[in-house]
Structure 1
Amino acid sequence: MIEGDGPRAAGTNRPILHARALTKTYGGGETAVQALKSVDLEVREGEFIVLLGASGSGKSTLLNILGGLDLPSSGEIEFLGERLDGASDERLTRYRREHVGFIFQFYNLIPSLTVAENVALVTDISRDPMPIDEALALVALTPRRNHFPSQLSGGEQQRVAIARAIAKKPQLLLCDEPTGALDYATGKLVLEVIARINADLGTTAIVITHNAAIGGMADRVVRLADGRIASVEAPARRLTPAELSW
């Protein structure tokens, strides 16, 4: 059983995820594609990590393995000392349900449900969820709680997706191109919400982007190329989303 006591204040700095020599190969024979090649990564509690790289560099594959959506072909991955590589579907489902929140480029909201009902989909299956209205307040959507997705802007829909992800109080918030479908101004608003959750709740956040400017708001920037970690950089000062320019 994977144990955990929920997010702590940022700065406790204990390692929570370890990836060692991760490889991932799709297909076989002459058509085999090696998406990850011996990747090592340690993720510490309360960190804000940005994964940068061109399309096909392995970012999404790495994020999916860290989040328990996929298994490596070889190598090890641990969450709080519990091995995830080779885990059963049941164990991975429990890991995702209890410890991980996902945000994707597309919002995956159910159109026939209101904002509050979309968030409730997660709280209904969580052990110790935050109240729905608390989650909506964190993303500044309380006035929209009874609206349907079709009545919201793209940025508002993404913020509903964030509220849904954080309502179960995950230790990890994994974001795959969360601003990819949004315009510049709206994208900054979404990044502000993610940064606030990281800072105020101590939730570890890992954000995939192809936009190098977003790396300025990270504790560490991990660049991938051809399935490998090409570099790891720590910006001298974390920028706020308002300070970013791209």
Structure 2
Amino acid sequence: MNTVPDALVARGLTRRYRMGEVTIQALRGVDLTLKRGELVVMLGASGSGKSTLLNILGGLDSPTEGELSYVDREGQAHTLSGASQRALTRFRRHHVGFVFQFYNLISSLTARENVAVVTEIARTPMAPEEALALVGLGERLDHFPSQLSGGEQQRVAIARAVAKRPELLLCDEPTGALDFRTGIRVLEVLEQVNRDTGTTVAIITHNEVIGDMADRVIRLRDGRVDDIRHNAERRPARELRW
């Protein structure tokens, strides 16, 4: 029986913040494994800990307690909890792509140039033209962000994230600033990236319906994993309705 290899393994992750005299417990002992090549949706209300968890999985933040390991393509585990800032920067640069609710494009650069900012520091990147073609923007290479719609700007942001060929693509509310039709187009692009490149994709959202397009749905509540659902069959993004 073939088993899908792990991509990230988290055990007992906690995260506490101090705000003046108050301690905020954002995560409370999260156990989680992301499998290589799967598409996962993490659901939760505001304050459930999902963005904190995403930041820790991507090396943008460190847990207060617990263990986090990245598993490379050879099956070797590399500990990220307690890693130095240099090691975390290396992990983010070479292994992780990020997509956020707001596109964070450089307004003075074209779509091609925005993607090239990442490809110039990656080990084995796609050409910017290839990455933009992957997200359906092969004809908009030399357009500036102000000449693109919101959905097109988000697709440039996705192209920028996948151009360095990350093993893990982390998306925090990628459709949150978009209307329904445009959001579906962005989800179709994430679906395509997962299918065509084998990238592990994790999407954080509060939108329950988006969970239907995932291999697994992980529900967070009050800083804990409340439930994990395996979908017997993924629903194509184009069939989602909300």
1:237 Cα shift? 1.2
1:26 aligns with 2:17: yes
1:52 aligns with 2:48: no
Query: Which of 69, 76, 89 is the equivalent residue of 1:93?
Result: 89
Structure 2: which 5+ runs fail to align? 72-76
Distance 1:28 1:186 in 2: 38
Give the corresponding residue for 1:4. none
Instruction: Give TM-score, length-normalised by structure 1.
Output: 0.94
Query: Which of 184, 193, 197 is the equivalent residue of 2:189?
Result: 193
Map 1:1-246; keep pairs closer than 5 Å.
13-27=4-18, 30-80=21-71, 81-246=77-242
Structure 1: which 5+ runs fail to align? 1-10
- The one-letter code sitting in structure 2 at the alignment partner of 1:37 is R
| DSSP 3-state at the match of 1:163 | helix
1:235 Cα shift? 1.5
Give the corresponding residue for 1:7. none
Instruction: Give TM-score, length-normalised by structure 2.
Output: 0.96
CA change 1:116–1:28 in 2 (3 A) is: closer
| DSSP 3-state at the match of 1:158 | helix
Distance 1:132 1:112 in 2: 17
What RMSD in Å do the two structures reach over aligned CA positions?
Answer: 1.1
Distance 1:245 1:110 in 2: 32
- The one-letter code sitting in structure 1 at the alignment partner of 2:198 is G
Distance 2:219 2:108 in 1: 39
Percent identity for Structure 1 against Structure 2: 62
After superposition, give the CA deviation of every residue in 1:57-87 in whole Å (9 maximum; x if it has no partner): 0000000000000000000000011000111
Distance 2:229 2:194 in 1: 19
CA change 1:143–1:12 in 2 (3 A) is: farther
1:93 Cα shift? 0.4
1:236 Cα shift? 2.1
